[in-house]
Structure formats: C-alpha cells, structure tokens
Amino acid sequence: MSEKTSFSVQTKDELARIYPEKPCCRLAELAAMVRLDGTVTLGTGSKMGLFVTTEYSAAARKVYRLLKDCFNIEGEITIKRQTRLKRHTLYNIRVPMGDNVPDVLRQLGILAEGSSRAIMPGIKKDLIRTQCCRRCYLRGAFLGGGSISSPDGNYHLEIITSHERLATSLASLINRFPEMLAKVSRRKQWYVVYMKDSEHIAAFLTVIGAHRALLEFENTKIMKDMKNQVNRLVNCETANLSKTVDAAMRQIENIQLIEETLGLNNISPPLADLARLRAENPEINLKELGELMQPPIGKSGVNHRMRKLEELAAEIRRRSLASQEEIKLAK
C-alpha cells in the first residue's frame, strides 16, 4: 500500500479482510454494511431488490461472500469507474429483484418485522444480542459509513448516516462498551456519530478488530506526544533563558549607569567586584556568577548584592529625574 493511502483507507482495507467465524456475527456484519451502504429497490407486488455500493473492492468481496454464506444469494458485482469528478471506483453488489428479498431484508433489520415496506428505524435487537455480534455490527457500520483521521493530526473517528435513529442507535451501541464514548452531531443532511478522544478511538479499533490500524495509531500517538513534550520543554527552557537574559540586561544597564555617574571605584568593593564580573559575563546566571567571585559566594549572596546595585541605580535615576525637574522649573 502506498504511503499516500489514507489511514482511513488502510483501516477499512484491514477490516474488509477480516471474516467473521460465527453465523450470528456474519449476519450482524452484513446487516450493518447493508444498512449503511445499501439501497432497496421496489418492484411489482412484493418483489424487492437490493444493492450495496462501496468504494472498496475488499469490502465488495466481503458483502458478496456474506450474502452467499448467510442467504445463499449470488450477488452480481459491477464496477463503475468514476473519472470525471471523483477519481474513485465504485463497486456495486446487486441482489436481483425477487420474492425472497423482503424476508432477507427483515432478517437484516432493514425492513420492520411484519411490515411490507416500512424501513426499521434503529438497529434490530436480535442482531446485537451478544458481544461478538455487537463488535461485528460496529465493524460493518464502520466499513459502510465510517472514517478515521490520521493520528498525525486531530483525533477523529466518525460514522455517518442520513437516518437520525440509526445514528443514535449506533452511538448507544458504542456506548454500551464502557471504554468508549460516542456523540451524535448534525452535518447538513447527515447525522454523524463521532469520537474525538484518542483513548476512545483506540478502544473502538480494538473492539472492531483493527489491530494493525491500532498499532499504527498508538505508535503515531506516542511519537506525537513525545514531540509535544519535547516542544513544551524547549519552550519552557527558552522562556527561562530569556528571563535570565532580560535580568542580565537590566543589571548591566544599572552597572553602566553607576559607572557613568558614581564610578565603580567609588562604591563598596564587594559590589564593584560583582558589577565588573557581571559586565564581563552577561550570559551566565547568578549561581555561576557567584562561583567566579574571589572568594566564591552563593546564589543568595549574589542576589543580595545585585539588589543593592539595583537600589543604587534606582536612587541615581530618582535624583537625576529630580534635578531635571529643577532645571525645568528654573527655565
């Protein structure tokens, strides 16, 4: 598979190649795929037909095989290449018009029980009675209407349908698993069942058996988390560094002011020594500055002397401001 193949396509390709073992699970998965991707055609009398359309050849083969195994129906596969607007291929599995189709549709939970033509609103309970079948129904639903964003970007998994009741039923089916939480939102004529939490998405991939996709999802997530952590650390260090630089610049301004006005030789020698060292070493922190002193002093000692220099500079500024005001007044 090429690198450009989306994560969604890779995931669906993996899922399409999983074939359920138990008959109950086969029916559940087929029911979901037909529900999400199927179209019922109405004929004369009680005759009905059905076709399922998918963009994935592996999914088309799966529907074909499931129809054969569950109902002994030979679907007709046609391939439509769409070249003008969309560049994808559509696979069509058609169940020919027949008297048996309504019963098949009732078993698949598409037609309501006892009704001739009414579509069943939610998910037929018989199809999702056991845990194995719930997983398979969700796999079929994802294959039919699902997509997942690459874990490189924002975490997002969704299944879309135009039926509101199906959307809410799918969300509650997902939410029967305690490790997941799905919500439903509206997008134009669609109802979107979605998850945005990476833990929930990972759980969904586990539940539907997308183990390869899960592995890639987790690996990418780990790399992304690590990158974010490194970035946070770097930003944090940069912030600290710029704080140190800002402080050093202010200290050097103070020292220059003292030198220009009072002269460093005219202040107390311990302060003058520190002032000279700082002026010569603007890039180091207070602790390192203390280590350069003769004799060395601790960080708090350096801090104390820096504050004295700061106060001295502040006093000089106050006085020069006052004298300027005097001059101003004198004019």
Interface contacts to Zn ion, rule CB under 5 A? 22, 24-25, 132-133
**58 burial level (CB within 10 Å; 0-12, 13-18, 19+):** middle
Nearer to Zn ion, 127 or 277 (CB): 127
- Tell me the C-alpha distance between 62 and 129, whole Å: 22
Nearer to Zn ion, 22 or 176 (CB): 22
How many of the other CB atoms lie within 10 Å of CB of 171?
A: 20
What the block records as the tokens of 247 is 């402080």
Sign for the pseudo-dihedral over CA of 146, 149, 150, 155: negative
Nearer to Zn ion, 26 or 200 (CB): 26
Q: Least distance in Å: CB of 28 to Zn ion? A: 6
Close Cβ partners of 92 (under 8 Å, ≥ 6 residues apart): 51, 52, 53, 60, 77, 78, 79, 80
Q: Least distance in Å: CB of 23 to Zn ion? A: 8
- Percentages helix, strand, coil for the chain, rounded to the nearest 5? 60, 15, 25
- Tell me the C-alpha distance between 255 and 30, whole Å: 81
How many of the other CB atoms lie within 10 Å of CB of 263?
A: 10
Nearer to Zn ion, 22 or 243 (CB): 22
Alpha-carbon distances of 262 from 5, 194, 253, 309, 316, rounded to whole Å: 73, 71, 14, 12, 9
Q: Least distance in Å: CB of 180 to Zn ion? A: 19
- Tell me the C-alpha distance between 300 and 290, whole Å: 9
Nearer to Zn ion, 140 or 151 (CB): 140
Nearer to Zn ion, 12 or 26 (CB): 26
Helical (H) or strand (E) element with 47: none
Nearer to Zn ion, 23 or 153 (CB): 23
